[in-house]
Structure 1
Amino acid sequence: MNFNLPGTDFVPFTQSLSDDRKVSPKRPFVEANSEEISLSFLKNKCIIPVFTKDNETTLSHQEFIDSAFNVVKSIYPNEVIEAPEIRVSHQIKGRTPDAIHLPVKDLKDEQKTTYYERMAFIIRIPSISEDINGNRLSLTVGGVRALNTENLYNKKTSEKFKIFIGFQNMVCCNLCVSTDGFKSEVKAMSIIDLEDKMRELFSSYCLQSHLNAMIQLAKYSLTESQFAQIIGKGRLYNFLPKSEKSILPELLLTDGHLTTVAKDFYNDDSFCKDEFGNINLWNFYNLLTGSNKSSYLDTFLDRGVNAFHFTEGILDALKNSDSRYSWFLQ
């Protein structure tokens, strides 16, 4: 099958990663309005958008995933590497030219076309792991592609991707990502260019430094009163005048996220308050990352990184009354 639609093109893709190695946990790493999808479906059933003015193809979701897998294999040749877990959202449907005038009920499968505007994936490396506060963390890499950020009605230009390396908490499948392991906008013209950018990030990431920072979180706790103060100030933060908000540290979580955090403070099986009403910062951080699973695919990585640095900021405020984060505890 080979056909063109406005802004889309079907392009065969050579598979280099076995599709039958699909392994995913019981809980997804992100939820929102996304759904899990197989690499095989992306490669064999989805068309690939093009830049309409020159008909140049975009770098496809499957190429992005396959390249990340190859980079991980080259950097960690002796480690166990699981197959990607893939989530997609914002499906774009179409049909082949010969089916333009057919009623929907008469469409055959081969006359239907589809691609997904947004895609996120993770690749776990479970042989590199650590325990923090009784939780098993596995090294994880991944990325996000959001075609809504590209101008597909123009000529081909550098395309934008988000990539990360960090850890996944296997108790809840929450992602633990810091600034050092995250690139919020990687621009690439080709797969080779994208692979070079991923290799640079994955190779430079200092996992021990990230782990040490997370281990510190388990050593400090919030009282129920302090937790309530943070939640209340977090709600106020989103409505502050721009002049006041600009002098405070950034908080990307919304009222909806904070409501989930408040609820889980009492009800979460793994990270709720203890019998004295206190919660250590490791558990607090996991409540934040748990609430972040309701974010759209194109925003959840930025919010996940922000959740980590916000928790580090609260730790700083507990130790130093002059901290920029003290406003959230006052």
Structure 2
Amino acid sequence: MAFAPTALPFDDFRDLVLLAPGPDTAAVDAVRIRDSQLTKPPGALGRLEEIVEWLAAWQGRARPAVQRPLVAVFAANHGIADKGVSAFPKEVTVQMVANFAAGGAAINQLCAAFDIGLKVFELALEVPTPDISETDAFDEAGCAATMAFGMEALAGQPDLVCLGEMGIANTAVASAIYHALYGGTAADWVGAGTGVAGDALAHKAAVVGQAVARIGEARKNPFEVLRRLGGREIAAMAGLIIGARHQKVPVIVDGFVTTAAAAVIHAINPAAIDHCLFAHVSAESAHAKVLAKLGKRPLLDLGMRLGEGTGAAIAANIVRAAAATHAGMATFGEAGVSDKD
């Protein structure tokens, strides 16, 4: 779809997306030179070697490292939940945020196991965004402000950020974004989410289809898709992705819902998400199709569909291991091992 520009307040964000800085090729070259000298056959560590190059490219370091990783979980509520598109009521979002605070969620355990920082950002849970099947989620100023808020997750200067989310009905919201961006039918992009099936799944698809039909030609503008259909957590994650690119912070995208934030940016400038690693392919049925649209190969396939940044946290530990292996291995010369002829 052709991109149609809008007026302020999205102009600044559009410029940031279109003018996203490129990779640090000198850092990548340095990684490749060192890799060729390490005590292993070329390519023997497979994708771990690719990960080190990716990390170097976007951190801008010849010796990339992961010392301050962060999982940023954005939590929001959605008016569309009242249409019965989820197996759970939207009150569960507030309850799960309390569970995060108490240390009882899956993401708490993974962050503790892997020594990863965790921050949970509550986005006006008491005021859900409007029902997107009937009206827009935001005005432009509200959407832009939420994107700017997402950038605040970078304030502590992490060197790797993992995206996570929590929000009852947000798989319906993400499905609406994909349907708007990529066409087809609503059923192509709608999955079980929290566990809907049968007639309930057909109803979810119908509500998503109504939301996308409502916005008409606005589908041609990715930021308008975000404004009209997106939730606060998706807008905030989009802002974080944009800000991270300009601050040289690589990003790990978790699953189905977090990928929606990346998809909006990709629709404006495909190269603007090259600093993103996609953690896993979700068990949510349409996620593999979305990743194919983005041209991205997920790191893992574990049959997960929880959200919260759980897949991203597991991927972050693999990224950290790849960087540590590259930095810590001896070269042939250091180890006194004969190199190939």
TM range (shorter): under 0.3
Question: Given the two structures, how large is their TM-score scaled by the length of structure 1?
Answer: 0.25
Q: Name the larger-Rg structure.
A: 1
Q: Which has the higher strand share?
A: 1
Q: Which has the higher contact order (CA 8 A, sep 6+)?
A: 2
